[in-house]
Chain A
Amino acid sequence: MSQLPLLSILVGIPLLGAVLCLFVRAEAARWIALIATLLDLALGSYLWALYDPSGPQWQFVEFVTLGGGINWALGIDGIALVLIMLSVFLMPICIGASWRAIEKRVPEYMAYFLLMEALMLGVFAAQDLFLFYIFFEGGLIPMYLIIGVWGGAERIKASYKFFLYTLFGSVLMLIAMLYMVITAKTTFIPDLMAYDFPVHAQTWLWLAFFASFAVKMPMWPVHTWLPDAHVQAPTAGSVILAGVLLKMGGYGFIRFSLPMFPEGSLQFIPLVFALSGIAVVYTSLVALVQRDMKKLIAYSSVAHMAFVTFGLFAMNRQGIEGAMVVMLSHGLVSGALFLCVGVVYDRLHSREIEKYGGLSNNMPGYALLFMVFTMASVGLPGTSGFVGEFLSLVGTYHASTWAAIVATTGIILGAAYMLWLYWRIAFGTARTKEAAAMKDLSAREWWLLAPIAAAVFWMGIYPESFVRPIRNDVGRLLVRLERVAPAGDSQPTPGKPKLKVIDAEGQHGEAH
């Protein structure tokens, strides 16, 4: 293993870039941001190549003690690795998407984005409980400013809602963390993952963490900040919000709630399944009636993230691996869909579905890519969406038949709203003159969308590349959950062969 502190460098590059951006003009800031994010992408890929799936659980470990109960402890397992990959992959695309769309206060904007990236990567790499919290909460500040300064008409309200909602969720988690550290006498996450907290305490600890992650995820009914934030944020902000920030909720469940409080998790499976079931059906129906493209995709995010919670709390291999793949896939697909909205928004400055139509005539390239992402969102076999949703549904079915039935309706509803959206935008005739006159994708936009499309197909056709790093870690999690995993109501039961029954009856009759 290499001796360089690779993870610190990974976090440090965007941080350095952010500082540099503040001292230069717009054009230079754009290039600095692009180079910094590309460097991080390269470094992330290097980590992926170095990562040994069958090696120790925690790799690239770094440990510097800061004293006073906090340590600069970094280290990643496979689960963190794939999420880091997702982040570093989406960041250069976000910078590219803001290249021309952002005209005012560019250096500041790029600085906040790079700061955001550093904090996100820190969340996934942190091995110290408080360090994790600092990164987790720190992300609020740049996002608050991104939404508030560069957002749409209702940006102020949306930024406040985003900040205070998520802050409120997180502070309760902080108290739970303090309790955990005092009880377990360590802040080291791997140690805490193996620590058995008293069962009565687990209930409260689980709820405190749930308050934070459910808001972040977001789960119904605490999802209401999301549509506002998404709609008002600039395109790249939406991409990073949907692509990475929402994944922190799922990551939190998989890193904290499940391994640290297995009994607590078991207790609340019905709650999670009920909320997820409502989310799938209700938010899908809400998505169906939206007139605003971004809002529609935002609601679809809530529905998709419900697949993640279903899969995670099924507590079996298919469910958890499926949930991970859904997270990765949704990160790519919803990010790409927001970019697609951004492409037409840049041309027409409207997100109203009404204003568009017939884009397949004048924007064939756009229509093609948009279709790919629509299909991936629907879950067409061959795309990433299918793999994740199928696996998590299988897992859910093992745990609870009813939950699986409700969850599956989400696929049908998802197809309904996504296909209808695509039909209204791409087919038929243009509803406005301006829409008919729009030009097809520029080279820059191709460069943004094509890599995501490639990744979507890669994940759909050969998901092994993404499942391999996480397989052993999911295994370790399952060992931890073994003692509580629900038996499920769809066990294969031994049949009663007819022949024997007749024999028995025959004997029965003979005896008398």
Chain B
Amino acid sequence: MGRFAPLLPELILSIGGTILMLVAAFTGRRGSGLTSWLSVALLIAATFALMGAPSHAGPVFDGLIAADLFASFGKAIMFPAAAIAIIAAHGWFEHDHEHSSEYAVLIVFSAVGMSVMVSATSLVSLYVGLELQSLAAYVLASYRRSDERSAEAGLKYFVLGALASGILLYGISLLYGFTGTMNFTGLASAFGRGAPSLGLLFGLVFLLAGLAFKASVVPFHMWTPDVYEGAPTPVTAFFASAPKVAAVLLATRVCIEALGPATEAWRQIVIFAALASIFLGAVGAFGQTNIKRLLAYSSINNVGFALIGLAAAGPQGASSVLFYMAVYIVMTLGAFLCVLWMRRPDGEPVETIASLSGLSQTRPAFAAAIAIFMFSLAGIPPLFGFWPKLLVFNAAVASGYVALAVAGIVGTVVGAYYYLKIVKVMYMDDPVEPFERAREPIQGFLILLAAVIVSPLGYLLIGPLGALTDRAAGALF
């Protein structure tokens, strides 16, 4: 039993998820509320289990998985995010009587996949975790069967995702063929033996390309706006938060643990991907009229900033990536919870930016919350979204990449334009038909909580959160 102790969170989720699936099968539509709340309870229990699980257990199962602090940090932000994605669906699917219990169960399985992703220390477990997460995600994207956009999103996501998996597998096979090992430490020592061979370099590039797809990093981002727009909004909220964090954290671990000695080889790729994501994410959002598409570009843009921290490498860079993703997840979930509340008086959801016109006069508190998330996503002080941006730039400057930091920060100004546009629409335009008043106290509380965290009060978190990310990043070195 002792050797399973580090896996306690995953065990809780896997066993619990399997049981819930049976519950769902037997209760059908009637049990959807029950399974949802039980799933939330499972995720919360898994989060608490993180504290109990020994976080320095080192490699388990012959080095397939590491239950270190880095993985625990990732799980500690992803599990609650997954739970929020379940809560977000409450009251959403009821509108069109489609809410069946599988939604919550799928998210639980996706969470298992993500937690394997962030703790993977072998290419096999990496792939298994990634696929487990992705397969659940493909189904979730097309969850509203009757909606063409949702079906299209699912199909698009699946076809492109399968392609990316293929690329990733090809990279894995190359790496395995040229090194004879799947293990991250084994890979690192293979890369450490002088300049990497051409085969190893190809393997590295394909591996990173596959990961870039999962994290929706330019140039592998094309699916993002379409899938985000088409998927049901609670699912979009989920996609933009937890799986994104998992992919970025996985990429961080691969780059530092497995490819550490080849830093010079992957750094140029990461720098390109970071800057391309920042600028394309900013420019792509300009003409958007759909808020979900706009947030999709915003998420591309934000991952670009996190990658600046990764490009800086070193403990400081890794720590800034963790900090960035932790704050990002709060801002994104907050913003998407607000989008969930955008409903016409007849209850029909709306997604156009124009429908927000004059919101500050019809729903001042709601408008203020969106404005806080927008300014924070743009990284304007005194909101808390500024601080993680500062940290990634700081890491870049500290490792001598001043030009990268300058280019990135110019990108924030370009990006600020479209965030300002939303604030302008809410505050400076004339009011249109007001939204339906939401009756979801738990979601309201979550929006409030997220808004408080990204408000200037968040600066009080810098000390503890910074210490935590430093320690978590230290686990990689």
> B382-430: which residues lie under 8 A (CB-CB) from chain A?
382, 386-387, 390, 393-394, 397-398, 402, 405-406, 409-410, 412-413, 416-417, 420, 423-424, 427-428
- Contact of B459 with A70 in the complex, beta carbons under 8 Å: yes
Q: Pick the contact of B460: A66, A119, A134, A182 (CB < 8 A).
A: A66
Contact bitstring B345-389, A, C-beta under 8 A = 1, else 0: 000000000000000110010000000000100001110001100
B145 CB → nearest A CB, Å: 43
How many chain B residues touch the partner (CB < 8 A)?
37
A179 CB → nearest B CB, Å: 5
Say yes or no: is A16 at the interface (Cβ < 8 Å to chain B). Answer: no
Contacts of B405 in A (CB 8 A): 175, 178
A448 CB → nearest B CB, Å: 27
State whether A67 and B463 are in contact (beta carbons under 8 Å apart), knowing that A148-B424, A171-B412 are contacts in the complex: yes
Contacts of A149 in B (CB 8 A): 427-428
In whole angstroms, what is the CA distance A172 to B390 when docked?
12
> B301-349: which residues lie under 8 A (CB-CB) from chain A?
none
Q: Pick the contact of A68: B382, B393, B466 (CB < 8 A).
A: B466
- Contact of B386 with A134 in the complex, beta carbons under 8 Å: yes
Q: For residue A168, which residue of chain B has the nearest CB?
A: B413
- Contact of A67 with B462 in the complex, beta carbons under 8 Å: yes
- Contact of B462 with A174 in the complex, beta carbons under 8 Å: no
- Contact of B424 with A178 in the complex, beta carbons under 8 Å: no
Contacts of B459 in A (CB 8 A): 66, 70
A259 CB → nearest B CB, Å: 22
Contact bitstring B210-243, A, C-beta under 8 A = 1, else 0: 0000000000000000000000000000000000
In whole angstroms, what is the CA distance A145 to B412 when docked?
20
In whole angstroms, what is the CA distance A133 to B427 when docked?
26
Of the 9-residue stretches A159-167, A349-357, A449-457, which lies at the interface with chain B?
A159-167
Contacts of B382 in A (CB 8 A): 119, 134-135, 137-138
Contact bitstring A178-216, B, C-beta under 8 A = 1, else 0: 110110000000000000000000000000000000000
Q: Pick the contact of B413: A66, A119, A164, A181 (CB < 8 A).
A: A164
> A117-166: which residues lie under 8 A (CB-CB) from chain B?
119, 130, 133-135, 137-138, 140-141, 144-145, 148-149, 155-156, 159-160, 163-164
- Contact of B402 with A179 in the complex, beta carbons under 8 Å: yes
- Contact of A156 with B463 in the complex, beta carbons under 8 Å: no
B138 CB → nearest A CB, Å: 39
> A14-45: which residues lie under 8 A (CB-CB) from chain B?
22
In whole angstroms, what is the CA distance A140 to B394 when docked?
23
- Contact of B381 with A133 in the complex, beta carbons under 8 Å: yes
- Contact of A105 with B390 in the complex, beta carbons under 8 Å: no
Say yes or no: is A228 at the interface (Cβ < 8 Å to chain B). Answer: no
In whole angstroms, what is the CA distance A243 to B209 when docked?
53
Contacts of B412 in A (CB 8 A): 167, 171
- Contact of B416 with A167 in the complex, beta carbons under 8 Å: yes
- Contact of A138 with B424 in the complex, beta carbons under 8 Å: no
Contacts of B402 in A (CB 8 A): 175, 179
Say yes or no: is B287 at the interface (Cβ < 8 Å to chain A). Answer: no
Q: For residue B459, which residue of chain A has the nearest CB?
A: A66
In whole angstroms, what is the CA distance A148 to B386 when docked?
23
Contacts of B466 in A (CB 8 A): 67-69
Say yes or no: is B194 at the interface (Cβ < 8 Å to chain A). Answer: no
Contacts of A77 in B (CB 8 A): none
Contacts of B427 in A (CB 8 A): 145, 148-149
Contact bitstring B417-446, A, C-beta under 8 A = 1, else 0: 100100110011000000000000000000
Q: Pick the contact of B428: A133, A137, A155, A181 (CB < 8 A).
A: A155
> A240-258: which residues lie under 8 A (CB-CB) from chain B?
none
> A278-299: which residues lie under 8 A (CB-CB) from chain B?
none
State whether A66 and B463 are in contact (beta carbons under 8 Å apart), knowing that A174-B409, A182-B394 are contacts in the complex: yes
Say yes or no: is A108 at the interface (Cβ < 8 Å to chain B). Answer: yes
Contacts of A175 in B (CB 8 A): 393, 397, 402, 405-406, 409
Say yes or no: is B467 at the interface (Cβ < 8 Å to chain A). Answer: yes
Say yes or no: is B464 at the interface (Cβ < 8 Å to chain A). Answer: yes
Most buried by A among B382, B405, B459: B382
Contacts of B464 in A (CB 8 A): 67
State whether A156 and B424 are in contact (beta carbons under 8 Å apart), knowing that A135-B382, A163-B416, A174-B409 are contacts in the complex: yes
In whole angstroms, what is the CA distance A413 to B361 when docked?
46
Q: Chain A interface residue count: which class?
A: 35 or more
A219 CB → nearest B CB, Å: 19
A481 CB → nearest B CB, Å: 27
Q: For residue B463, which residue of chain A has the nearest CB?
A: A67
Contacts of B424 in A (CB 8 A): 148, 156, 159-160
Q: Pick the contact of A163: B361, B420, B428 (CB < 8 A).
A: B420
- Contact of A164 with B406 in the complex, beta carbons under 8 Å: no
- Contact of A182 with B381 in the complex, beta carbons under 8 Å: no
Dominant SS at the A interface? helix
Q: For residue A179, which residue of chain B has the nearest CB?
A: B397
In whole angstroms, what is the CA distance A70 to B459 when docked?
9
B47 CB → nearest A CB, Å: 24
- Contact of B393 with A70 in the complex, beta carbons under 8 Å: no
Q: Pick the contact of A137: B364, B381, B398, B406 (CB < 8 A).
A: B381
Q: For residue B389, which residue of chain A has the nearest CB?
A: A174
A394 CB → nearest B CB, Å: 39
- Contact of A160 with B394 in the complex, beta carbons under 8 Å: no
Contacts of A65 in B (CB 8 A): 463
Q: Pick the contact of B409: A22, A105, A172 (CB < 8 A).
A: A172
In whole angstroms, what is the CA distance A120 to B428 when docked?
24
B452 CB → nearest A CB, Å: 13
- Contact of B380 with A108 in the complex, beta carbons under 8 Å: no
Most buried by A among B375, B397, B410, B417: B397
Q: For residue B394, which residue of chain A has the nearest CB?
A: A178
- Contact of B380 with A174 in the complex, beta carbons under 8 Å: no
A97 CB → nearest B CB, Å: 22
A130 CB → nearest B CB, Å: 7
Contacts of A144 in B (CB 8 A): 420, 423
In whole angstroms, what is the CA distance A171 to B465 when docked?
24
In whole angstroms, what is the CA distance A172 to B409 when docked?
7
Contacts of A168 in B (CB 8 A): 410, 413
In whole angstroms, what is the CA distance A159 to B360 when docked?
17
B455 CB → nearest A CB, Å: 11
A313 CB → nearest B CB, Å: 25
Contacts of A70 in B (CB 8 A): 387, 459, 462
Contacts of A171 in B (CB 8 A): 409-410, 412-413
In whole angstroms, what is the CA distance A144 to B459 when docked?
23
> A40-97: which residues lie under 8 A (CB-CB) from chain B?
65-70
- Contact of B409 with A160 in the complex, beta carbons under 8 Å: no
In whole angstroms, what is the CA distance A70 to B390 when docked?
11
In whole angstroms, what is the CA distance A135 to B456 when docked?
11
In whole angstroms, what is the CA distance A148 to B462 when docked?
32
B405 CB → nearest A CB, Å: 5
State whether A140 and B380 are in contact (beta carbons under 8 Å apart), knowing that A68-B463, A164-B413 are contacts in the complex: yes
- Contact of A178 with B467 in the complex, beta carbons under 8 Å: no
Contacts of A134 in B (CB 8 A): 381-382, 386, 456
State whether A67 and B420 are in contact (beta carbons under 8 Å apart), knowing that A149-B427, A167-B380 are contacts in the complex: no
In whole angstroms, what is the CA distance A159 to B427 when docked?
12
Contact bitstring B16-30, A, C-beta under 8 A = 1, else 0: 000000000000000
- Contact of A167 with B413 in the complex, beta carbons under 8 Å: yes
Q: Which residues does A use to contact B, with CB under 8 Å? A: 22, 65-70, 105, 108, 119, 130, 133-135, 137-138, 140-141, 144-145, 148-149, 155-156, 159-160, 163-164, 167-168, 171-172, 174-175, 178-179, 181-182
Known contacts A149-B428, A175-B406, then 16 further A-B pairs from the complex at CB < 8 Å, ordered by chain A residue: A67-B464, A67-B466, A70-B462, A105-B361, A134-B382, A137-B381, A138-B382, A141-B375, A145-B427, A160-B420, A164-B416, A164-B420, A171-B410, A172-B406, A178-B390, A182-B394
In order of increasing CB-CB distance, the 5 nearest A-B pairs are A67-B463, A68-B466, A68-B462, A134-B381, A138-B382
The 16 listed contacts between A and B (C-beta, < 8 Å) are A68-B465, A68-B466, A119-B382, A134-B456, A144-B423, A156-B428, A159-B428, A164-B417, A167-B380, A168-B410, A171-B412, A171-B413, A178-B394, A178-B398, A178-B405, A182-B394
